[in-house]
């Protein structure tokens, strides 16, 4: 496997530093509109050059440029879970050999697999790769590193020479992570960088794994779900105000804007929510109860609330028991809801679109159960916004 592109001309410096993603587990506890999905579909059909007889094929994505593969990767290194989730969606979940906080995300993802008949997932015990070591990458000997080399560079412990060594001696890098919130990559990567929607990156990963038919089938489910939501959204004046919070504890509450660019909001932007915060509250900043009361959201969405180690009853009671928190409209009206994760792959994106639609607009899309614990609730079949069996069939290869 070989890799190359416009980055090489950038003269990346050894030991360079720059903006990097925050640890997603700290608060976990792209345009995802129809046009973006259609554009990703067109890209999937036109960018990868491959043949059915097993000869090489090339896939292009920023910041790597063109990456050539001599065969379909059978072992997959990942850092962030949007890439791991893409491999899972394409039926390659068991090929993943590394990811950030594997036990945490295995538990979170397996809150959803019970609703997908015949789909299983086990990421426990994998190498935890938030800041990977070269030695471990040699040991893993992966066929592809589904990780953004710019974000690895931003860790500060990896030089361009290190990245090149892994690419030359093991396998290419292929990933895009700064599209999460449209963060600025390290300066040395800026000219090579582009931002993509979640499903656009997914289309590229499908090319790498030569699973375009599975991508197309899941993209069709996604497009239908978006169309269902768009057709029944209430007028803006009838929408509740909402906030997305990551309360690792109630003393340190992270707040996120629901409509900022990037795939971290791929499940909220299509719902066109009304943010309770004004521009003075920066997405990803910490807030206190007084700030929350001043914003007074009608709905609070709680990142990581569906993780087995997170107690939604404790979060709700903690808000109710605080004299300031108790006055927030969402708390008084019992509209504090659980969410899943920020670095969502396509399957979590489908579930989170459905759950958030119900949490924000129960009169339009059916009520969301008052979730306390356990797997994704059983939704009556006539109130589901997408076909679970179809998604399960695609993951399992029944097209």
Give the tens place of pLDDT for each residue, 29-73: 533 343 344 444 444 443 444 444 568 999 999 999 999 999 999
Question: Based on the domain organization, do 167 and 309 belong to the same domain?
Answer: no
- Please say if the pLDDT value at position 202 is more than 90: yes
Closest by Cα among 336, 329, 358 to 244: 336
Report d(CA 152, CA 7) in Å as an integer.
14
Look at residue 237 in the predicted model and tell me its pLDDT. 94
Question: Based on the domain organization, do 320 and 280 belong to the same domain?
Answer: yes
- Please say if the pLDDT value at position 18 is more than 80: no
Mean pLDDT value across residues 301-307: 94
Look at residue 22 in the predicted model and tell me its pLDDT. 63
Look at residue 263 in the predicted model and tell me its pLDDT. 95
- Please say if the pLDDT value at position 318 is more than 80: yes
Question: Based on the domain organization, do 219 and 239 belong to the same domain?
Answer: no
Which residue pairs, CB below 8 angstroms and at least 24 apart, start in 159-167? 159/13, 159/14, 159/15, 159/16, 160/12, 160/13, 160/14, 160/16, 160/188, 161/14, 162/134, 163/12, 165/134, 166/134, 166/137, 167/3
User: What is the average pLDDT value for the chain, to the nearest integer?
Assistant: 88
Look at residue 40 in the predicted model and tell me its pLDDT. 47
Question: Within 13 A of 252's CA, how many CA atoms are on the CB side?
Answer: 5
DSSP string, 250-269: TTEEEEE-SS-SSGGGTTTG
Report d(CA 154, CA 149) in Å as an integer.
9
Backbone dihedral region for residue 260 (phi beyond 0: left; psi -120 to 50: alpha; all else: beta): beta
Look at residue 35 in the predicted model and tell me its pLDDT. 37
The CATH number of the domain holding residue 78 is 3.40.50.1980
- Please say if the pLDDT value at position 170 is more than 50: yes
Question: Based on the domain organization, do 164 and 296 belong to the same domain?
Answer: no
Report d(CA 1, CA 306) in Å as an integer.
39
DSSP string, 176-206: --GGGTTPPPPGGGGGG-----HHHHHHHHH
Output the CA torsion sign for 256, 257, 258, 263: negative
β partners of residue 338: 302
Question: Based on the domain organization, do 197 and 61 belong to the same domain?
Answer: yes
Report d(CA 373, CA 308) in Å as an integer.
7
- Please say if the pLDDT value at position 19 is more than 60: no
Phi/psi at 324 (5° precision): -85, -50
**Domain housing 337:** 234-395
Look at residue 370 in the predicted model and tell me its pLDDT. 85
β partners of residue 243: 300
Look at residue 14 in the predicted model and tell me its pLDDT. 24
In a domain, residue 13? The reply is no
User: Which of the listed residues 170, 199, 223 is the one where a domain comes to its end?
Assistant: 223
Look at residue 113 in the predicted model and tell me its pLDDT. 98
Look at residue 280 in the predicted model and tell me its pLDDT. 65
pLDDT band of 17, cuts 50, 70, 90: very low
Question: Based on the domain organization, do 309 and 354 belong to the same domain?
Answer: yes
- Please say if the pLDDT value at position 24 is more than 60: yes
Residue with tokens 């489910």: 221
Question: Based on the domain organization, do 216 and 246 belong to the same domain?
Answer: no
- Please say if the pLDDT value at position 332 is more than 60: yes
Mean pLDDT value across residues 232-261: 88
Mean pLDDT value across residues 192-221: 98
pLDDT band of 365, cuts 50, 70, 90: very high
Question: Within 13 A of 43's CA, how many CA atoms are on the CB side?
Answer: 23
Look at residue 259 in the predicted model and tell me its pLDDT. 84
Residue 216 DSSP class: H
Q: How many residues in total does the chain contain?
A: 399
β partners of residue 65: 61
Q: What percent of the chain has pLDDT above 90?
A: 78
Contact status, residue 277 vs residue 285, Cβ threshold 8 Å: no
pLDDT digits (tens, 9 = 90+) for 76-126: 999 999 999 999 999 999 999 999 999 999 999 999 999 999 999 999 999
Residues 6+ apart with CB under 8 A from 316: 331, 334, 336
Q: Which spans in the chain are helix H?
A: 25-28, 34-46, 81-89, 102-109, 134-140, 149-153, 160-169, 198-208, 212-231, 289-295, 312-321, 329-332, 346-360, 362-365, 388-395
pLDDT band of 342, cuts 50, 70, 90: confident
Question: Based on the domain organization, do 239 and 271 belong to the same domain?
Answer: yes
Residues 6+ apart with CB under 8 A from 107: 307, 308, 309
Number of domains the chain contains? 2
Mean pLDDT value across residues 348-371: 96
- Please say if the pLDDT value at position 184 is more than 70: yes
Question: Based on the domain organization, do 387 and 354 belong to the same domain?
Answer: yes
Question: Based on the domain organization, do 203 and 243 belong to the same domain?
Answer: no
Question: Within 13 A of 268's CA, how many CA atoms are on the CB side?
Answer: 31
In a domain, residue 16? The reply is no
Q: Is the peptide bond before 63 cis (omega within 30 degrees of 0)?
A: yes
pLDDT band of 21, cuts 50, 70, 90: low
Report d(CA 332, CA 29) in Å as an integer.
23
In a domain, residue 6? The reply is no
């Amino acid at each position: 496997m070989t890799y190359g592109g416009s980055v090489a001309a950038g003269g990346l410096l050894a030991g360079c530093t720059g903006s990097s993603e925050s640890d997603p587990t700290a608060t976990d506890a792209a345009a995802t509109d129809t046009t973006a999905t259609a554009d990703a579909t067109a890209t999937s059909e036109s960018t990868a050059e491959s043949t059915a007889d097993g000869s090489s094929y090339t896939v292009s994505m920023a910041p790597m440029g063109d990456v050539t593969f001599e065969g379909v990767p059978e072992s997959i290194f990942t850092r962030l879970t949007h890439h791991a989730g893409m491999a899972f969606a394409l039926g390659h979940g068991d090929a993943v050999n590394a990811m950030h906080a594997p036990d945490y995300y295995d538990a979170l993802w397996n809150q959803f697999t019970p609703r997908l008949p015949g789909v299983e997932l086990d990421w426990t015990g994998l190498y935890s790769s938030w800041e990977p070591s070269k030695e471990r990458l040699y040991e893993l000997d992966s066929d592809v590193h589904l990780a953004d080399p710019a974000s690895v560079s931003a860790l500060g412990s990896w030089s361009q020479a290190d990245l090149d060594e892994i690419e030359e001696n093991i396998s290419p890098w292929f990933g895009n992570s700064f599209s999460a919130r449209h963060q600025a990559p390290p300066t040395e990567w800026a000219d090579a960088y582009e931002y993509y929607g979640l499903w656009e990156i997914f289309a590229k990963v499908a090319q790498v794994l030569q699973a375009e038919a599975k991508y197309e089938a899941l993209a069709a489910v996604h497009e239908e779900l978006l169309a269902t939501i768009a057709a029944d959204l209430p007028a803006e004046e009838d929408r509740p105000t909402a906030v997305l919070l990551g309360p690792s504890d109630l003393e340190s509450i992270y707040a996120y804007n629901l409509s900022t660019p990037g795939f971290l909001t791929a499940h909220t932007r299509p719902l066109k929510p009304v943010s309770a915060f004004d521009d003075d509250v920066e997405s990803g900043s910490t807030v206190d109860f007084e700030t929350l009361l001043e914003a007074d959201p009608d709905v609070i969405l709680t990142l990581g609330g569906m993780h087995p180690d997170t107690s939604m009853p404790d979060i709700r009671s903690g808000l109710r028991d605080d004299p300031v928190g108790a006055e927030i409209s969402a708390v008084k009206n019992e509209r504090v809801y659980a969410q899943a994760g920020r670095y969502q792959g396509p399957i979590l994106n489908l579930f989170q679109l459905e759950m958030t639609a119900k949490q924000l607009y129960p009169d339009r899309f059916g009520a969301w159960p008052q979730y306390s614990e356990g797997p994704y609730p059983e939704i009556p079949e006539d109130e589901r916004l997408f076909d679970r069996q179809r998604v399960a069939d695609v993951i399992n290869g029944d097209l």
